[in-house]
């Protein structure tokens, strides 16, 4: 849930300054029966404490870049969710190998995962949207605190 909200906040922060872009982002997430409804409610009525993450204007609707519902689908039913699962696997292994001292499963795994992560990093939103360097909010500060160090430095 925290990861999905963080993605929505990143999208909001990065795209809100673009003209005629209001509400043009759908979030598709891998089905999780326990939290799918909670995520939909969270996106429909985001908490006030999330506003400062993206510097919400007083006249601006909360999370106005995101269509106010997430679509939870089984990954084997949607190719794009399978791609997202692959991204998550690569980034998870990248963190495990760099931050948590996990051993390689096969010889050369770390080099291979590093290459994949480098490719994915070029497709991520800018660090300024993902990890504010001077968070103005407790929300941004919290996300920065819990982030693995390797993800904080990945990408531009």
Per residue in 58-79, pLDDT (tens digit) is 888 888 888 766 666 777 777 8
Classify residue 35 by burial, with Cβ atoms within 10 Å: 0-12, 13-18, 19+.
Answer: middle
| Predicted pLDDT of residue 1 | 77
CA distance 150 to 10: 18
Whether the full predicted model's pTM is greater than 0.85, yes or no, is: no
Which of 64, 56, 68 lies closest to 139, judged by CA?
Answer: 56
- In the chain, where the domains are located: 2-153
What is the share, in percent, of the chain residues with pLDDT greater than 70? Answer: 92
135 and 102 Cβ atoms separated by less than 8 Å: no
- To the nearest 10 degrees (0 to 180), the angle between helices 2-15 and 36-44 is 30
| Predicted pLDDT of residue 61 | 85
| Predicted pLDDT of residue 68 | 64
Q: What are the residue ranges in the chain where pLDDT is below 70? A: 30, 32-34, 68-72
CA distance 47 to 38: 13
């Amino acid at each position: 849930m925290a990861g999905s909200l963080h993605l929505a906040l990143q999208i909001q922060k990065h795209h809100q300054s673009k003209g005629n872009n209001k509400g043009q982002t759908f979030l598709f997430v891998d089905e999780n029966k326990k939290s799918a409804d909670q995520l939909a409610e969270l996106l429909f009525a985001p908490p006030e404490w999330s506003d400062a993450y993206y510097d919400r204007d007083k006249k601006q609707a909360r999370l106005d870049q995101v269509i106010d519902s997430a679509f939870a689908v089984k990954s084997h039913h949607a190719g794009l969710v399978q791609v997202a699962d692959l991204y998550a696997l690569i980034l998870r292994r990248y963190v495990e190998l760099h931050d948590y001292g996990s051993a390689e499963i096969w010889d050369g795994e770390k080099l291979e995962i590093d290459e994949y992560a480098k490719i994915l990093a070029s497709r991520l939103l800018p660090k300024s949207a993902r990890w504010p360097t001077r968070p103005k909010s407790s929300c941004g500060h919290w996300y920065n605190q819990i982030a693995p160090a390797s993800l904080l430095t990945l990408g531009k």
